[in-house]
């Protein structure tokens, strides 16, 4: 059910996306009316959260059923300690095709009444609240002048990034997220020289109800979008292999690869931005994974010209890795929920050259007979199917491979790929299933497979 406006984009970005989703190949296949309908549904569903919370279980540490049972107990404790008097039914289901995934339905939108006292939070904080988080103090931009601990308040998200931190009120464009109880006074949030930390508002009546996983079984469960978990399985890591994750932060996929290998072998994680390296290491330590080696390095320069290099870190000699994951930097237009983006068309279109530089390095670093998986969390053709068409032309040694599991849809028309090639690609297109499945009759795993973030996966073999 649509309760928020369609994602707010710059007009030139909206028009650019329209030309993608109404390209000539698609218009011939489905017609103008259906293509326009899908495009409008995409803009609508991007501003809403998926219908489920996906949790990747640490099955390298404990059986799935044991983790499911312990998670159920922890979330029941959380319910009992909650200040909300509302009883929420708890459902935790295993995914039928992903042996390390648990799914929890999201209840929403719910009939929650807006209050007169309001707090405004930033867009990133608002996104987290819609996915089950409480409001952490750094995300609060505006609050009533005399807000004190225990006040019941409504929470709104600033849609255009125009609210000034410390404001008493805000008249700009917002979206209502639900109600909560203040855990801090206004003065504790804004009138301090020290960086503010901790929960500022505890959500008691969220518009979308899902559990908060803050501090819940950190070594056994890891919040991750469903397509991101699929990527690790498609890569197919095996114990004893040497695997490269080229753009590794924050480390969710890196850790998944290591877990699928049973922590046997070596996973090399490269990340260009230094302050993100600690997050990867922290996740690996929390999940008891020791085979991960992290380096702060630009992956476009990860190929060494010294074939006799003896140092273990980057750059690496050609053909150093059995498998390579290139989860490429991208425009991120598949992320949900995302109510607004202020990016220019130039910024949206800036990623293709970088992705191709990374692709060149990935192919050179991959052993013959090795597997390369390319993925993005965006919906554009230029960063997805067009990159596949380019790669197949630029690297005759690469061939597309079937993906397992394949729970998304095939690739999108518009890049000149053959039907056979499109069938080997995997695109998660939430607009194709959003608002079309009845939650009362459709099993959660079936809904979860379609109602995801927008995502793309291609798998190649180096011959």
Asked if 134 contacts 210 with a C-beta cutoff of 8 angstroms, the reply is no
pTM of the predicted protein model = 0.94
- For residue 437 the two structure tokens come to 């499945």
Compute how many other C-beta atoms are within 10 angstroms of the C-beta atom of residue 227: 24
Q: Which whole number is the average pLDDT over 256-282?
A: 96
pLDDT at 90: 84
Of the given ranges (2-11, 241-250, 295-304, 417-426), which has the lowest mean pLDDT? 2-11
Q: How far is CA 55 from CA 81, 194, 263, 288, 373, in A?
A: 22, 34, 20, 17, 22
CA atoms within 13 A on the CB side of 279: 14
Question: What share of the chain in percent tops pLDDT 70?
Answer: 96
Residue 239's pLDDT band (cuts 50, 70, 90)? very high
pLDDT at 309: 73
pLDDT at 190: 93
pLDDT at 314: 96
Express each pLDDT in 121-136 by its tens digit. Answer: 999 999 999 999 999 9
Residue 193's pLDDT band (cuts 50, 70, 90)? confident
Question: What share of the chain in percent tops pLDDT 90?
Answer: 86
> Phi-psi bin for 141: left (phi > 0), alpha (psi -120 to 50), beta?
alpha
Q: What angle do CA 363, 369, 372 make, to 5 degrees?
A: 40
Express each pLDDT in 50-68 by its tens digit. Answer: 999 999 999 999 999 999 9
Q: Which residues are catalytic?
A: 377
Residue 82's pLDDT band (cuts 50, 70, 90)? low
pLDDT at 434: 77
Tell me the β-bridge partners of 331. Answer: none
Which DSSP string do the residues of 265-299 spell out, in sequence order?
SEEEEEESSGGGHHHHHHHHHHTT--SEEEEE--G
Express each pLDDT in 322-371 by its tens digit. Answer: 999 999 999 999 999 999 898 999 999 999 999 999 999 999 999 999 99
pLDDT at 440: 64
Express each pLDDT in 89-122 by its tens digit. Answer: 689 999 999 999 999 999 989 999 999 999 999 9
Residue 216's pLDDT band (cuts 50, 70, 90)? very high
Asked if 198 contacts 139 with a C-beta cutoff of 8 angstroms, the reply is no
Beta strands (DSSP E) in 297-442 are 321-327, 366-376, 398-400, 426-428
Q: Mean pLDDT of all residues in the chain?
A: 94
Compute how many other C-beta atoms are within 10 angstroms of the C-beta atom of residue 166: 13
Which residues, including other chains, have CB under 8 Å from residue 222's CB and lie 6 or more apart? 55, 56, 57, 58, 252, 255, 256, 283, 287
pLDDT at 1: 59
């Amino acid at each position: 059910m649509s309760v928020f406006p369609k994602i707010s984009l710059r007009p030139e970005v909206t028009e650019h996306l329209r030309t993608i989703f109404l390209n000539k190949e698609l218009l011939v296949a489905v017609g103008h009316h259906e293509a326009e309908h899908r495009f409008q549904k995409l803009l609508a569903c991007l501003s809403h959260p998926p219908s489920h919370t996906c949790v990747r279980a640490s099955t390298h540490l404990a059986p799935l059923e044991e983790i499911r049972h312990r998670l159920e107990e922890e979330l029941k404790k959380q319910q009992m300690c909650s200040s909300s008097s509302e009883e929420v039914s708890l459902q935790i289901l295993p995914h039928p095709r992903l042996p390390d995934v648990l799914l929890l339905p999201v209840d929403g939108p719910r009939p929650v009444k807006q209050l007169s006292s309001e707090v405004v939070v930033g867009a990133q904080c608002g996104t987290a609240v819609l996915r089950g988080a409480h409001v952490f103090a750094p995300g609060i931009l505006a609050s009533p002048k005399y807000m004190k601990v225990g006040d019941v308040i409504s929470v709104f998200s600033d849609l255009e990034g125009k609210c000034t931190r410390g404001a008493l009120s805000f008249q700009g464009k917002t979206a209502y997220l639900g109600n909560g109880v203040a855990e801090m006074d206004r003065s504790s949030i804004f009138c301090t020289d020290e960086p503010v930390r901790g929960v500022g508002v505890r959500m008691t009546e969220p518009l979308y109800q899902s559990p908060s996983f803050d501090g819940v079984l950190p070594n056994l469960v890891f919040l991750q979008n469903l397509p991101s978990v699929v990527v690790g399985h498609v890569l197919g890591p095996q114990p004893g292999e040497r695997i490269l994750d080229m753009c590794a932060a924050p480390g969710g996929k890196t850790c998944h690869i290591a877990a699928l290998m049973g922590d046997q072998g070596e996973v090399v994680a490269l990340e260009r931005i230094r302050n993100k390296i600690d997050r990867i290491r922290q996740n690996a330590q929390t999940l008891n994974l020791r085979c991960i080696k992290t380096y702060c390095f630009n992956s476009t320069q990860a190929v060494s010209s010294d074939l006799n290099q003896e140092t273990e870190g980057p750059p690496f000699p050609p053909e150093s890795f059995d498998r390579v994951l290139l989860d490429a930097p991208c425009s991120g237009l598949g992320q949900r929920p995302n109510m607004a983006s202020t990016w220019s068309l130039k910024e949206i279109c800036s990623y293709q050259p970088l992705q191709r530089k990374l692709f060149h390095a990935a192919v050179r670093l991959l052993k013959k007979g090795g597997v390369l998986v390319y993925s993005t969390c965006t919906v554009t053709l230029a960063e997805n199917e067009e990159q596949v068409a380019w790669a197949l032309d630029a690297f005759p040694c690469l061939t597309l491979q079937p993906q397992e599991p394949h729970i998304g849809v095939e690739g999108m028309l518009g890049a000149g790929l053959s039907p056979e090639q499109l069938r080997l690609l995997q695109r998660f297109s939430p607009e194709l299933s959003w608002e079309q499945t009845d939650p009362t009759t459709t099993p959660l795993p079936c809904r979860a497979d379609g109602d995801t973030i927008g995502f793309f996966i291609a798998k190649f073999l180096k011959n």
